[in-house]
Amino acid sequence: MNGIRTRVLSTIAGQLGNPHGTLGKGFAFMLNRGNKRAIAGAIDAAGIAANAANAAVADIGFGGGAGLSILLERVGTNGTVHGFEISPDMLTRAKSKFAEEIRTGRMQLAPGSMTDLPLADDALDAAITVNTVYFVPDLAAAFAELVRVVRPGGSLVVGIGDPDAMAKMPFTAYGFTLRPVAEVIAALEGAGCTVVHKQLANPPIPHHLLVARPA
């Protein structure tokens, strides 16, 4: 029984970090439903003005794509939404769903990780990344890359589930790195950001929204 439990929990953790295959379709739905409030909170915290002219924004590690939809609504027809994802299946899914927006140039999707983004320096006015840092071994490298692509004075919002609450979920023992919030803040500050810590009550997992501004 322990072996079966380990395989099940390991599969869940693997799908949450990189949704793929037939199971991935179900996990994409679960990610959208479970993360939507935290994603919406991160977008609000980023201070992206509605219909801001020529705004360039991004969701890094967009998973099921809920954040892409909200960002499109927020920036309107004059902005550009970028999406980056390590999962080829989630990328293919998003390209199909947002085919028209890609055709008109309102959206650009590409493979990319938090440590390797195919963007020029200072390309973005704002970026969000929610529930992704658990799968990043080197926060310093990841945040240096995020700061590289967000212009000085822009906003970068890192959303994480409360680590104490996350630790109570059995699947997080398989491949998740749960860091204290203070450690994540320190890494953002080390990358050259000022950070404001906001909290979002989001049962069953409260979230921390770390609003960082590159100098």
Handedness of CA 7, 9, 12, 15 (dihedral sign): negative
Identify the pLDDT of residue 131.
93
* Burial (CB count within 10 angstroms: exposed 0-12, middle 13-18, buried 19+), residue 178: middle
Identify the pLDDT of residue 24.
57
**Distance in angstroms (rounded) separating the CA atoms of residues 167 and 186:** 21
Helix (H, G, I), strand (E, B) or coil at 173: helix
- Given a cut of 50, the residues of the chain with pLDDT beneath it are none
Identify the pLDDT of residue 36.
86
- φ, ψ of residue 204 to 5 degrees: the values are -85, -5
